[in-house]
Structure 1
């Protein structure tokens, strides 16, 4: 199991918080928000949002019923942050691949311990920021230096997540990333995604070949695609529609493990593929980003109602 690491200590001072409190989930520390208009749970390991719901509504995110909250273990569900590379390092462009010093998928941020940077509350929203200083503590995993700042803004309209990367090294920094959003559905076969029509995509299950999407995206089995698109999306499931509006992204990943892969996944019930999907706001494939010294880039998504 990988070691849980952080480059700076976590801030514990609660200040004058009215709606936010410290809690423990399994063996991990988290921030729990109980606002009259909404609730949310944010785990410090990975800056991982595992729950968000407006008052009197069910969870807008999907979390595996067998998810485990353990140091160094990625949490199955919610919104994992894949950073500073997305997917298999060997499948990334050479400029990104050169910085990855491990074969582990999706980078190290999702199992690292992030530091609390700020909590702001009002009558209408709560904003929480967590930071990760990827310095020499991660030198055996990554040949780079950067500061990652994850800001979560909760309101009755929805949840907004912004991940800002600042290059702290003397040299250009190439990286890929994704906000790996898990969404629930009552039936994956009656679920569709609107907004990707006429987009080009890479089908990773078809030898990474390129295709064109015609009409909505439907699910008939295992799906793993990287779309070249920055358009607002609608995820239509039985009984509800969610909108995803991205910033700083020209790529979208659509994923569902299907029955065979689901049976091989950890912390994932065999039949769970029927009730979830992932729509990931990304900088993946050819949409990777390069920052010069001191430059920053923000990847963000607003998950809202139709």
Structure 2
């Protein structure tokens, strides 16, 4: 899935980085990338990417202007990591649900403190890897034993994210997950998603009934669907288009809260729904994954130019 240059990235220790620096934003620690070709902001809490901006371009990710950067609080916008379960625990498959001990949606990874593993830089790209050892510290929430490794690759061509889960338990591990990507638009009513035509989807707003998508996806009020598709997608907005290519995923979540739910969301202004949408690369609903002892699975997405 990589589109790396022919020049291998150089691994450097802290203090030797040319483009990456530490910063404290609110109460959280973040890595900020100031490369001549792009900028990015990545928080250790949640392994949460909140900014990717190529040179001479607008930001590719949507971030709430009321987002708060506090320990234990998920950041509204960017790309939250939903792991090791996606959505409401009760809506997960029995194999996934039996390991979940908490009532909260989207797992614990998005508010957990991840460990910096590596920073690699060269004249064309920056690659940052973070890990989360989900064992004893998370026993109040989950009965699994696994390690998650997430790698972000930034270049002028786009942003590539790969999340790898390895089962450390002796027993099989079932889990669901999503890279919950928020994208900006000047007008949600003039925005569409291409590539999901003829796909089946679960409409979570209509008793979780199955539907079939005909043509492009348009937005008319609240939208919350789990598509049975991992095909390449194109987001078309009044300001331009983005291409999404996924790996390790056969499900895609499309979400916009609409006006009524927006009024109930935290860290989300009442009108923000008009200027954002979520296209989530996922292993959700029937696309959950099962790993035997020592096995790994990688889900990833490349967000690129047209």
Normalised to the residue count of structure 2, the TM-score between the two structures is 0.96
Distance in 2, matches of 1:240 and 1:53, equals 14
Distance in 2, matches of 1:265 and 1:298, equals 31
- Number of the residue aligned with 1:156: 156
How do 1:147-296 residues align onto structure 2 when only pairs under 5 Å count?
147-296=147-296
How do 1:43-122 residues align onto structure 2 when only pairs under 5 Å count?
43-122=43-122
Deviation for aligned residue 1:239: 2.0
Secondary structure in 2 aligned to 1:181? strand
Secondary structure in 2 aligned to 1:198? coil
Distance in 1, matches of 2:104 and 2:19, equals 37
Secondary structure in 2 aligned to 1:87? coil
Distance in 1, matches of 2:277 and 2:239, equals 15
Distance in 2, matches of 1:241 and 1:165, equals 31
Distance in 2, matches of 1:299 and 1:25, equals 28
Distance in 1, matches of 2:239 and 2:39, equals 21
Unpaired runs of at least 5, structure 2: 1-12
User: Residue 23 in 1 paired to residue 23 in 2?
Assistant: yes
CA-atom RMSD in angstroms = 0.5
- Number of the residue aligned with 2:302: 302
Distance in 1, matches of 2:303 and 2:284, equals 20
Distance in 1, matches of 2:42 and 2:102, equals 27
Deviation for aligned residue 1:56: 1.4
Distance in 2, matches of 1:208 and 1:176, equals 17
Secondary structure in 1 aligned to 2:116? strand
How do 1:33-44 residues align onto structure 2 when only pairs under 5 Å count?
33-44=33-44
Unpaired runs of at least 5, structure 1: 1-12
Deviations 1:192-247 (A, max 9, x none): 00000000000000000000000000000000000000110000000210000000
Distance in 1, matches of 2:43 and 2:156, equals 21
Deviation for aligned residue 1:286: 0.2
Distance in 2, matches of 1:95 and 1:249, equals 18
Distance in 2, matches of 1:198 and 1:33, equals 40
- Number of the residue aligned with 1:141: 141
Distance in 1, matches of 2:297 and 2:44, equals 22
The alignment covers a number of residue pairs equal to: 294
Deviation for aligned residue 1:145: 0.4
Deviations 1:98-122 (A, max 9, x none): 0110010000000000000000001
Secondary structure in 2 aligned to 1:164? strand
Deviation for aligned residue 1:15: 4.3
- Number of the residue aligned with 1:5: none
Distance in 2, matches of 1:36 and 1:296, equals 35
Deviations 1:115-146 (A, max 9, x none): 00000001100000000000111001001000
Distance in 2, matches of 1:102 and 1:225, equals 24
- Number of the residue aligned with 1:32: 32
